[in-house]
Chain A
Amino acid sequence: MYALQYMAAALYLATGVAAVLGLALPAPKVLHGARWGLLLGAAVQFAAFATLHRLDPAPSLTDLGYAVAVMSWLAVLFTLLLLARIRLPGFVTPVAFVAFLATFGATLHRPDVIAEQTGTTIPHAHVLLASAGLAALGVAGLAGFFFLIEHRSLKKRRSVARRVAMPSLEALDRVNRVALSLGFPLLSLGVITGALWLDARSGSLWSGSLHETWMLIAWLIYLGLVVLRFVGKQGARQAAASAVAGFSFLIFAVLGAGVVS
C-alpha cells in the first residue's frame, strides 16, 4: 500500500534532481521536462491517497503527517497550474524537493491508532481547506523568497553574469499576488471549519489552546498583508518579504506551536 507513496516520493526526488541539472548545465529542455515529472508524481500520489483507506488501521486525514502530504500535493497541483500560465524557470526545483520530503515523511509517520471518529465531514473539510490555504500561501512564500534573491542579485548587478535561468521579478510578483488572493480565503475557511469542528466536539467555538491562539494571530497577520497588498500601496519587494515572513509564521503556528508547547 505504501509502494505508491514511495513511488511518488521517488518521482518528486527525480524531478528535483533533473531540475537542478537543468539549471546547472544549463539545459532548458531538461528543466522544461521536469514539470512532467512533477505531474506524474502528483498523479501517483493521488493514486496513493485513493488507496490509503484500505490500510488497517486506516490513517486519518487529520493525522499531521498525512495532512502535510496532502498540503504538499495541493502545492504541487497549484504550481503546475501556475507553470501552465506563467514562465517560471527553476520554480519546479524547490517544489519537487519539498513534495519529496513531505511525501516520504508521511511514509515514515505511521500512526498506531485509528484517528478520532467524529461522524461528520467537518474535520476533513477543515484539513482540506486549511491544507489548500497553506499550500497556496506556501507557494506565495516560495515566490517571495525567489523574488528577494533575484532582486538582490539585480541590485548587486550579479544577475547578468550568472548562467542559471530564474523566473523574472514580474512573474514572481504575479505568483505572489495570485497565491495570496487564493490562499487567504482558503485559510479563512480552514479557520472557520476548525472552529466548527471544535464546537462539534466540545460545544464551544474557542478553547484558548496554543494552536488556536497562534493560528488566529497568523490569520490576522495575513489579513493585514492582504489589505496592504490589495488596498494599500505595498511594493513588490515588500510584498515578497511579507509573503516569506507570513508563511514562516504560519508554519510555526501550525507545526511549531505544538512542538514548543
Chain B
Amino acid sequence: MKIVLLGMNHRTAPVDVREHFASDEPGALLQKLVDRPEIVEATLLSTCNRVEVVVTTENPDGAKYALYEFFARDLANGEGPAAGALEELTYLRQGREAVEHVFRVASSIDSMVVGEPQILGQVKDAYREATEAGVAGAVLSRLFQRAFATAKRVKNETGIAQRPVSVARVAVDLAKQIFETLEDKSALLIGAGDMIEAALIALHDHGLGERKVANRTVANAEALAERFGGTAHGLDELDSLLSDSDIVLTCVGGDTPLLTRARIKRSLKGRRGRPLFLIDIGVPRNVDPAVHKLDSAYLYDLDDLQEVAAANEKERRRESERAERIVYEEREQFEGWMVALQAVPTIRNLRDRAESIRSGEIDRFAGRLRLEGGQNEILEQLTRSIVNKLMHSPIAQLRDETDREAGLIRLEEARRLFGLDATSDSDRDASRAPLDDSENELGEYADAEATENVAQASPRLEESND
C-alpha cells in the first residue's frame, strides 16, 4: 500500500488560483474519488492557504493520474487552470515524503505563519469528514492519528507556538504582563477600522471585561461595538472614558496626537496608581510619545509591536528545526507500522499454507496409521507443535523488521521462498475498513503481541467489509 499526496498551497499557487480548488463539502467529492479503482482511501484538506488530497493506493502511477484529474475536473469543476498548468501549481509527494508532509502540515511547520494553531483543527476536520464519508480506512486513520500526536509533541516539546506573531496578539501578550487578568478590565478603542477590529477580536478572545469604542463617526463605532457587545461613543467623551479605562488602543487619522501627555496625566490622577496601557497603532501616531515617561502609563506604538512580531516569527522558524526532528522520528515509527501492516497478509498466507500441508498430510496417513481414541488428538498436537516451531522464526523475522526497505525485501523473499500467492484483492479492500482503535490493533508494530493482533485483525476487517 502506498500513500500519495497532491496539493497546492500559498507557496505554489496564488490565491486567485487556489480559490478555484477550495471545497466546503468534501464528502461527496471524496466518495467519487475512491470509486476509482486506483484509490483505496482518501482525505481532502481545504483551507484558505492550501488544498491537499491524500490517498492510499496499490497503483501509485494510476493514482497520480487520478489525482490530477480529480483536481482539474472535480475540485475546480473545469474552471481552474488548464490540466497542463496544474503540475507547476501543485506538489506531488509519495511514500515517506507524503507521510512527512502530512505531519509537517498538522504540526504547523508548513504554515504561512509557522506555529499558528488553526491548521491542526482544520486537519482534524478533514480527517473527520473523510471518516464520516467512509473513505478513510486503516492506513489513513493511522496516518492522521500519528499526525495529531506529532502536532501535540511539537507543540509541547518546542516553542513553535509560544510567541505571538500578529500585532493584535503581541498587544494582548503585553497587556498580560501588566494586568493579572483581562476579565475585570476595561478597554477603550479609539477608531473603528480593521486594525481596531483585529485587536478587539484578540482582546475579546482573551476574556476582556468591558469594551468601549470611540470614533469621530459614532455610527461606525456603534457597528463595531454592537458586534462585540461594547458601547459606542464620540471623541468628545474621551476625557471621561480615559479615566476609567485600563487599556487604550488607538488607530485614527489626524496630523496631531489625539492623546497628549497633559491629557493622559490628568486621567492618571484619578486612578490611584492603577496602570494604564496604551497601544498606538495609528500612522501618524495618535499618542504623544512623551506619555511613556509618565509613571503608570505604558505606551507601545506600531513599530514596537511589529518589531516584536517579526522577532517572534524568526524565533518560531528557529524552533521549527526542533520540530522537524520530531516529525522525522514520528515518520520513522509510522513507516515501521506500514511494514508491519504489509507483513500481515504474508504471515497469514504462510500460516494458512503450513496448516493446509499439515492437515493434508494427516488426512493422507490417517487411514494407514489406524489410530485409536486419544492417539488422534496426540498426533494433531504433535504436528501442530512441529509446524508452529518451524514457522516461529520466519514469522518473527517478518513481523519484527522495522526498516521499511529491508522489510519489503524480506516480505518479497518470504513469498518467493514459500511459494505464496500475491496479495489478494480482499487484503487490499480490508485496508479501507476503518479501525475502531488503531492504537490497540495496529499501533504497536514493534510489539510482538500487537503484531499478532494485526494478523488476527485483518480477517475480521475483511468480514466487516464484506
- Residues of A in contact with B (beta carbons under 8 Å apart): 26, 86-87, 150, 154-155, 157, 159-161, 163, 166-171, 173-174, 233-239
Question: In the assembled complex, how far is the CB of residue A169 from the closest CB belonging to chain B, in whole angstroms?
Answer: 5
Q: Are A168 and B180 in contact (CB under 8 A)?
A: yes
| Residues 276-314 of chain B, each 1 if its beta carbon lies under 8 Å from chain A, else 0 | 000000000000000010011010100011001001000
Give every chain B residue within 8 A of A170 (Cβ-Cβ).
178-180, 275
B68-76, B136-144, B168-176, B375-383: which one contacts chain A? B168-176
A238 to B296, CA, bound (A): 10
CA distance A234 to B274 in the complex (A): 10
Q: How far is the CA of A165 from the CA of B380 in the complex (A)?
A: 70
Residue B159 is within 8 A (CB to CB) of chain A in the complex: yes
Interface size, chain B (Cβ < 8 Å): 25
Cβ-defined contact, B159 with A154, below 8 A: no
Q: Are A166 and B177 in contact (CB under 8 A)?
A: yes
In the bound complex, residues from chain A placing their C-beta under 8 Å from that of B275 are: 169-170, 236
Residues of B within 8 A of A (CB): 159, 162-163, 170, 173-174, 176-181, 272-275, 292, 295-296, 298, 300, 304-305, 308, 311
Q: What is the distance, in angstroms, from B167's C-beta to the closest C-beta of chain A?
A: 11
Supplied contacts A157-B300, A159-B174, 10 more A-B pairs, CB within 8 Å: A160-B170, A160-B174, A160-B177, A160-B308, A161-B311, A169-B179, A233-B273, A235-B295, A235-B296, A237-B273
Q: Report the bound CA distance from A102 to B96 in whole Å.
A: 57
By a CB distance below 8 angstroms, the chain B residues around A150 are: 177
Q: How far is the CA of A26 from the CA of B180 in the complex (A)?
A: 19
- Main SS of chain A's interface residues? helix
How far, in Å, is B63 (CB) from chain A's closest CB?
A: 43
Given contacts A163-B159, A237-B295, contact A87 B180 (CB under 8 A): yes
Asked if A168 meets B304 with Cβ closer than 8 Å, knowing A26-B162, A160-B170, the reply is no
User: How many A-B residue pairs lie within 8 Å, measured between CB atoms?
Assistant: 63
Q: Which residue of B lies closest to A171 (CB)?
A: B180
- Could you tell me if B180 and A155 are in contact, using CB atoms closer than 8 angstroms? no
Given the known A-B contacts A160-B173, A161-B308, A233-B273, are A154 and B178 also in contact in the complex, defined by CB atoms under 8 Å?
yes
CA distance A169 to B174 in the complex (A): 11
A168 adjacent to B273 (CB under 8 Å): no
A166 vs B177: C-alpha distance when bound (angstroms) = 7
Report the nearest A residue to B163, measured CB to CB: A163
Give the docked Cα–Cα distance between A170 and B184 (Å).
12
Contacts of B170 in A (CB 8 A): 160
A86 to B176, CA, bound (A): 13
Taking a contact as CB atoms closer than 8 A, the residue among B174, B176, B298 that contacts A155 in the complex is B298
Contacts of A173 in B (CB 8 A): 273
Known: A157-B304, A160-B170, A160-B173. A169 touches B273 (CB 8 A): no
Shortest A51–chain B CB gap in Å is: 40
Q: By CB atoms of chain A within 10 A, which of B163, B178, B274 has the most?
A: B178
Decide if B159 touches A174 in the complex (CB within 8 Å): no
Contact of B177 among A154, A233, A236, A239 (CB under 8 A): A154
Is there contact, CB below 8 Å, between B159 and A26? yes
A168 & B178 in contact (Cβ 8 Å cutoff): yes
- List, sorted by A's number, 6 A–B pairs whose CB atoms are closer than 8 Å: A26-B162, A160-B170, A166-B177, A170-B275, A235-B296, A237-B273
> Are A86 and B273 in contact, CB atoms less than 8 angstroms apart?
no
Q: Are A154 and B273 in contact (CB under 8 A)?
A: no
CB distance from A167 to the nearest CB of B (A): 8
Bound-state CA distance A155–B294 (Å) is 10
Q: Is the CB of B311 within 8 A of A169?
A: no
Determine the residue in chain A with the shortest Cβ distance to B305: A160
Residues from chain A with a CB closer than 8 A to the CB of B311 are 161
B130 to chain A, nearest CB (A): 34
Q: Which of chain A's residues have a CB closer than 8 A to the CB of B177? A: 150, 154, 159-160, 166, 168-169
CB-defined contacts of A239 to chain B, threshold 8 Å: 273
Question: B176 touching A168 by the CB < 8 A rule?
Answer: yes
CB distance from B327 to the nearest CB of A (A): 21
Most buried by B among A157, A160, A161, A171: A160
- Contact (Cβ within 8 A) B178 A169: yes
Q: Closest CB of chain B to A197's CB: distance in Å? A: 39
Contact A155 B292, beta carbon cutoff 8 Å? yes
Return chain B residues, CB-CB under 8 Å to A238.
273, 295
**B304: which A residues are within 8 A, CB to CB?**
157, 160
Closest chain B CB from A36 CB (angstroms):
20
Q: How far is the CA of A154 from the CA of B292 in the complex (A)?
A: 10
Give the complex CA separation of A57 and B441 in angstroms. Answer: 67
Complex Cα–Cα for A189 and B159 (A): 49
Choice from B173, B174, B180, B274 contacting A86 with Cβ under 8 Å: B180
Residues of A with C-beta under 8 A to B305? 160
Q: Which residues of B contact A87 (CB under 8 A)?
A: 180-181
Centre residue among A155, A157, A173 by max chain B CB count within 10 A: A157
Which of B170, B275, B292 has the most chain A CB atoms inside 10 A of its CB? Answer: B275
> For residue A154, which residues in chain B have a CB less than 8 angstroms away from its CB?
174, 177-178, 298
Residues of A within 8 A of B162 (CB): 26, 163
Distance, CA A25 to CA B177, complexed state (A): 19
